[in-house]
Amino acid sequence: MKSIFSKRSIYFIGLVFLFDWLLIALFYAAGGKWNTNASIIISVIYMFIPMIIAVTLQRFIYHQPIKEPLGIKFKPNIWYFIAWVLPLFISLASFGVSLIFSGISYSPDMAGMFERYKYSLNSEQISLMKEQIQTLPIHPFWLTLGQAMIGGATTNTIAGFGEELGWRGFLYKEFYELGFYRSSILIGTIWGIWHMPIILMGHNYPQHPVFGVLMMTLWCILLSPIFSFIRERSDSVIATSILHGTINGTFVLSILLLKGGNDLIIGITGISGFIVLIMINILIFFNYGVKGTSPLLGVCP
């Protein structure tokens, strides 16, 4: 039986995990804490490692072109726009679903957000944040929305490209023949496990860092078909970079005005977000089931 992993994919996965996990191990050993200025720098480096490994293998080890095989195409189409606005829908829908759960309520004064920040910020930082918010001319939600959408399509997209050239560039090409769902689930699983060191340090699930590893892996598995769908329809890793960057940017909108619950339930990375992603995946499945147009639907023996 032929292995689903090629030597190229094994080298890529092994090197990405080695360098990224070593980076976090050194950061932790040096006394680094998550949700600090230093961790922001570390997280950006962490995101660019997949790109560096993909380019190194593709160009310098296998002596093959980079742009076309890895999907670096600058020809905007409607899917670029969808990749930009879809995260906003996911975030707002996750906010709405969160309100269905018991003990969770709408909090326009952001009391719930400040309560959650106590797990990642000290009291002085929270007090300073409250003072800054009081001086704003409009509600922070609208400022955050504008920043999220602009940043998502610009600076966040650049950071997202660091990951996407690896996941939806290199691995997408390597697993293409597995078919849409098999390749998406496999990439999503690898993508999720890759996050483990930073999740354990408090990223995304500061209240539940250990169980958060499983949650993050499941979240990436649910996200992966959506990314693959955008990658296929746009025919570009640039579109998935926009999707990635804007998801990171709009994340806070899904929890900003919520009080109660915890990081396993609320927001796009909680159960609420899972429900929204499942619904989108159903639509993707329905699309393929009815039209059968995807070249990724083929299944290798």
C-alpha span between 152 and 241 (Å, rounded): 9
Q: Output the pLDDT for position 264.
A: 98
Instruction: Round the CA-based radius of gyration of the chain to a whole number and report it.
Output: 19
Mean pLDDT of 59-70: 96
Match 């490692």 to its residue by tokens.
49
Residues 287-301 pLDDT 10s: 876 444 454 544 332
Q: Is the pLDDT of residue 93 over 70?
A: yes
Q: For residue 283, what are the contacts with CB-CB under 8 A and spacing of at least 6? A: none
Six token digits for residue 115: 């309560």
Residues 111-168 pLDDT 10s: 888 888 776 677 887 888 888 888 889 999 999 999 999 999 999 999 999 999 999 9
Q: For residue 144, what are the contacts with CB-CB under 8 A and spacing of at least 6? A: 252, 253, 256
Six token digits for residue 282: 């159903």
C-alpha span between 120 and 129 (Å, rounded): 13
Angle at 144 between CA 142 and CA 147, to 5 degrees: 110
Q: Output the pLDDT for position 118.
A: 77
- With a threshold of 0.85, does the pTM exceed it? yes
Six token digits for residue 110: 């952001």
Q: Is the pLDDT of residue 176 over 70?
A: yes
Domain boundaries, the chain: 7-297
